[in-house]
Amino acid sequence: MEETLGGGYLFDQAFLSASIAELSEIIREIIHNLNSISNHIYIDLYDSFESIRNNLEDIMAGGSGPYRDQIVMPYTCLDRDLDQIVGSKNANLGEISNHLGLKTPKGFALTIAAYRLFMDENDLFRRIERVIEDERRSERAWEVIRGLFKKAVVPKAIKLAVEEGLERLYAGLDRKALLAVRSSAIGEDRERTFAGQFKTVLNVHPDDVFNACKDVMAARFSPQVLEYLGDEALDEEKAPVAVGIQVMVAARISGIVYTRDPSRPFIDAMPVSAVNGLGERLVSGEVDPDWHLISRTHPFQPLESRIMGGPVFDVHPDGYLPLSVMPSGLRRGSSVASGGLLKMIAEAALTLEKAFGAPQDIEWAVDDSNSLVILQSRPLHLKAVSSVQPADVMARLRRLPVLMEGKGQVAQIGIAAGRVVHVSPDDDPASFPVGAIAVCKSASPRLSPIIRKASAIVTDVGSPTGHLATIAREYRTPALLGTGDATIVLKEGMDVTVDVEDRRIYAGMVQGIVDVRAATEEVFLESGEACTLRRLLRWIAPLNLVDPLSPDFTPENCKT
């Protein structure tokens, strides 16, 4: 199933059904045999098994799994495949934090189930439809609709769940931070962007959170959203709105990065905009930001810059005011973003592009601890670049000198190009350059943090059945393991192209090879079958009981 999700095979719903049936039969037999040789001390495993099997069958039938009735869900529980429960924006933030290790705002989601409960309890769908039929002017209808939401009563179940969510959220904070309340509709930032059409309420006091939530949900029926949705505008099943309740990020610097330049997607560079303070004015087009075009290749050097030279309110994240003398003897420039910050942004941006399988439009901020915080990541929809023809690119690739052929075993198919960096399990993952080709003697699971950042991994020793291979498939990192002599043949600093499926490594790189791979991935990763398989594997593949000496090592804690 992992190899299939990695693109190794074509598959359909029948494959998924057969896989779950076979897996269930095997696991039931294992539990039976384990109990037979242990005097039935693991009998509770049957309960865990039935619970997980029910989740799998519900997902197979198009359901939401075990979270379908949840009112709130903390971001620590979310991933990209829970968008049908918490909306796309919330789901993506959970994926970024929990699976990619990047910093995001702390918070929790008010779910789609909560939205439907709120709408049903106040009979809002029927009342809104009547308002739109009665009022000819959309502005007048919008005023009446907002009035309906303001007067609506928050159901007791929602009130209790949100209050408990806030209590858990503030338990880890030193002070009563203000909140940001944001929309997170199903399909938002994916098949439909809804860019700028839903509402965000900033600097919300905890006592005001329910009013802010009602404002955000009401925006689903604003004139611009109704026009955007067209004939589907009043369909109760279309674009339901979950809400993200987040701790406000104390942003010293904010901005946007596109992992490709929309005006020139064929160049190997990404544009970054940056302003002092919150980024809302940048998003709304109220201010002129600093603008940089930086290379997509390590060390991510700026290629072009336009510095606006606005007022500076405090020291920058590198610790210096503009024009102050640094230890190098040079004076710091007046750019809002330092070179070090631009490098951090580039690394995070490419990590997100790789994880989501498509170019990304990313909102970011630097908080008061000088940490980079990802506020949002959504697909950057680009026009197809006619100059990138897969057949032509592959023909040029075949003309490059071959360094290695027919060696190793395929753990995750794919094509990647980059600079060779030799690594060991003891290396600091933070020092590994994003986008490089990781070459290592052994396929140690301790290389997992590097797998997220590498464009491919090649090892001397290892097999597709090891833990590192599983992690490579999870992050869709092309992996060729057990080649025997990769660390000898592939020298540190060489530019190479790795074609894992053909088990061939070329000297040099061909322009466009990564674009061909990305174009294929974007379609596959968001297909219905791939989403279902990914959601199934969340309940199959991860290991959550790894320490037999832990008091939590019990049958009832078996989650997968």
Q: Alpha carbon of 252 to those of 31, 315, 336: distances in Å?
A: 54, 10, 10
- CA–CA distance, 355 with 477 (Å, rounded to integer): 9
CA distances from 176 to 165, 182, 202 (A): 14, 19, 15
Residues 507, 545 within the same domain: no
Strands of 318-408 (E only): list them.
360-366, 372-379, 402-405
One-letter identity of residue 24: S
Task: Please check whether residue 107 is in contact with residue 169, taking contact to mean a CB–CB distance below 8 angstroms.
Answer: yes
- Whether residue 208 lies inside any domain: the answer is no
Is 223 inside a domain boundary?
Answer: no
Residue 98 lies in a domain: no
pTM of the entire structure?
0.81
443 and 498 part of one domain: yes
Domain limits for position 41: 2-57+541-557
| pLDDT tens for the chain, residues 1 to 560 | 888 887 767 888 899 999 999 999 999 999 999 999 999 999 999 999 999 999 999 999 887 777 878 999 999 989 888 888 999 899 999 999 998 889 999 999 999 999 999 999 999 988 988 888 877 677 888 899 999 999 999 999 999 999 999 999 998 776 678 999 999 988 765 555 555 567 889 999 999 999 999 999 998 888 887 876 776 667 666 778 999 999 999 888 999 999 998 888 778 899 999 988 877 766 666 667 889 999 998 889 889 988 876 655 556 667 777 777 778 777 677 788 888 899 999 999 999 998 888 889 999 999 988 899 999 998 887 765 445 566 777 788 888 999 999 999 998 888 899 999 999 988 988 889 998 999 999 988 888 889 888 999 999 999 888 888 888 887 889 999 999 999 999 999 999 999 998 899 999 988 766 655 555 555 566 677 888 898 899 899 887 888 889 999 999 999 89
Handedness of CA 23, 28, 31, 32 (dihedral sign): negative
Say which residues have a Cβ less than 8 Å from residue 411's Cβ, sequence separation at least 6. 462, 463, 464, 468, 469, 472, 473, 479, 480, 481, 500
Same-domain status, 435 and 545: no
* Same domain? 450 vs 502: yes
Q: Are residues 550 and 507 in the same domain?
A: no
d(CA 247, CA 343): 26
In a domain, 453, yes or no: yes
Report helix, strand or coil for 433: coil
Domain presence at residue 23: yes
Using CA atoms, how far apart are residues 123 and 149, in angstroms rounded to an integer? 11
CATH number at residue 479: 3.50.30.10
- Residue 173 resides in a domain: no
Number of domains comprising the chain: 2
Going through 79-128 in order, the beta strands assigned E by DSSP cover: 107-110
Q: Give 222's contacts (C-beta < 8 A, 6+ positions apart).
A: 142, 197, 199
Tell me if 142 sits within 8 A of 107, measured CB to CB.
no
